[in-house]
Structure 1
Amino acid sequence: MNTQIKTLVSNSLASWENWNALGYEQRTRILTVWANSLDEDCKKMVTFQCFNAQEHLGETLLMPGPTGETNELYSAGRGTIAVTADDDTSAVAIVGQLTAALVNGNCVILCLSANSMVQAGNIINQLTLAGCPLHVVQTVEHEQLTALITNTSISGVAFAGQSAIALRLARQLAERDGLLAQLIAETDCIKLPVIGSPTYSMRFITERTRTINITAVGGNATLLELGSGEEH
């Protein structure tokens, strides 16, 4: 196994639980501080993604249940998302992918071309200054993309670029063993109909249910917590 990728993924998964547990409000606060270091278009994209995530996913919903039991439905991050793009993809598109992944509780490994690695490094520095914890966002060279997305601990791949590359990535993910990973692809990097959708955030989460028996000894005993995605 590629040692560098293994280390990156291991660091990411070690950071994921705490980042996911921060909740939408605190993650949005960190990303909003980060947005202030970006140009106006990128700042608007961060605000757009954070608002839509809060609007559609930030609330825990109370579900029907028998007397003495509460059932809650809420969303959580999938785990580690690989974010990648063609060399000529705009910074706004990349920032949109990154924000949607992060605000919904995922860690990210940015895999960009050599020409974009300086930008990626700047992004990490700015996020760190904004309060983003260590290893929540990491980078790797584009030459390592195949090794990255074929690592079975990667929960999803967000890509912006040509349709032919999106198709190739989809095939690589389909051929993987282990955890099913979703491809979240934007192939119109001018109009951004996918990244610009108000429901884009929903592609980065898993739904979970939590059942609490409120009559148990001690008052609030959590009995069961289930998710539609695999936890790490």
Structure 2
Amino acid sequence: MELICFSDAHTAWKYWNLIEFEQRFEILSCCAEQLKAQDKQLAAMMQFHLEAARPLTSVCQELHGPTGETNELYMSGRGVSVLFLSSVDSALAAGIALLSSALITGNSVVISSNDNTFVSILKPVMTSINIPEKLIQFVSEEAGMTMLSSDIRSVGFVGNESDEKQLNRALAQRHGAIVGLVSETDMENLPVAHDPYLSLRFATERTRTINITAIGGNASLLEVGHSPH
């Protein structure tokens, strides 16, 4: 079951990550607009992180090419994210913050929670907008822990410090790529949920190089400084 869930999420991620930022922004903004009917504060939280991500992750920067090539630095989604959400009222806002940041940067999300309130609010909204199938999935906490053995690329957590430590230990024991943990344990102040740079914790930098010069560029430039001229 968990392997099928991960496979579906990974397929959805590959498609979603190729979509231009502005298209993702438009789709998720529609989600935030529909969320207003359920909870205006949650909708405002989602829109805040969508707006905050634009200057951080939507711009492609051109880098100087020393041998004549074109280099572009851009942000990309990491892959499949698993979001663990505890049954706390204030956890809803933090959960929306993590979810929005993960989605806008190009990740697919598996929400692992036994909190029916969060699922009942979010699921109808997400299924009513034009998002790729299986981009967002809902599983139990037990199923979410089992998914840690899959090739997930980021983990979000909202809950108490004790559960956070257990999750961190589980991540440390897994094999494969190092997975970053983004956690919110301060249910009163929600510092992570209000962080305007939160989207960067779900994104990774990539470089695209385009070489249109003959024989790999102007190789004589690499020689400068290494021999007398």
Q: TM-score, normalised by structure 1?
A: 0.86
Instruction: Report the CA distance shift for 1:157/1:105 in structure 2 as closer, same or farther (over 3 A).
Output: same
Identity, in percent, stands at 35
**Residue 21 of structure 1, aligned match among 18, 22, 25:** 18
1:46, CA displacement in angstroms? 1.0
The equivalent residue for 2:165 is 167
Give per-residue Cα distances to partners, 1:106-160, cap 9 Å, x unaligned: 00000011xx2363255233123221110100011122232122x2311111001
Number of residues of Structure 1 aligned to a counterpart in Structure 2: 211
The answer as to whether partners of 1:13 and 1:79 remain within 8 angstroms in 2 is yes
The equivalent residue for 2:74 is 74
1:216, CA displacement in angstroms? 6.0
Q: Within 5 Å, which residues of 2 pair with 1:55-70? A: 55-70=55-70
**Residue 186 of structure 2, aligned match among 174, 185, 188:** 188
- Bigger proportion of residues as strand: 1
1:36 aligns with 2:33: yes
Q: For residues 215 and 189 of structure 1, what CA distance do their matches in structure 2 show?
A: 55
Q: For residues 26 and 44 of structure 2, what CA distance do their matches in structure 1 show?
A: 15
* 2:25 maps to amino acid: T
* 1:98 maps to amino acid: L
1:47, CA displacement in angstroms? 1.1
Q: Please, what is the CA RMSD of the aligned residues?
A: 1.6
The equivalent residue for 1:136 is 135
* 2:102 maps to amino acid: A
Greater relative CO (CA pairs within 8 A, separation 6+)? 2
Q: Which runs of 5+ in 2 are unaligned?
A: 216-229
Give per-residue Cα distances to partners, 1:22-78, cap 9 Å, x unaligned: 122111111110111222101111111111111211100111112531100001001
* 1:100 maps to amino acid: S
Q: TM-score, normalised by structure 2?
A: 0.87
**Residue 201 of structure 1, aligned match among 196, 199, 202:** 199
Q: Could you list the runs of 4 or more consecutive aligned residues of structure 1 that deviate by over 4 angstroms after TM superposition?
A: none
Q: For residues 117 and 190 of structure 2, what CA distance do their matches in structure 1 show?
A: 24
1:109 aligns with 2:106: no
Q: Which runs of 5+ in 1 are unaligned?
A: 218-232
* 1:171 maps to amino acid: R
* 2:122 maps to amino acid: I
Q: For residues 5 and 71 of structure 2, what CA distance do their matches in structure 1 show?
A: 36
The equivalent residue for 1:225 is none
Instruction: Report the CA distance shift for 1:93/1:8 in structure 2 as closer, same or farther (over 3 A).
Output: same
Q: For residues 51 and 69 of structure 2, what CA distance do their matches in structure 1 show?
A: 32
Instruction: Report the CA distance shift for 1:216/1:21 in structure 2 as closer, same or farther (over 3 A).
Output: farther
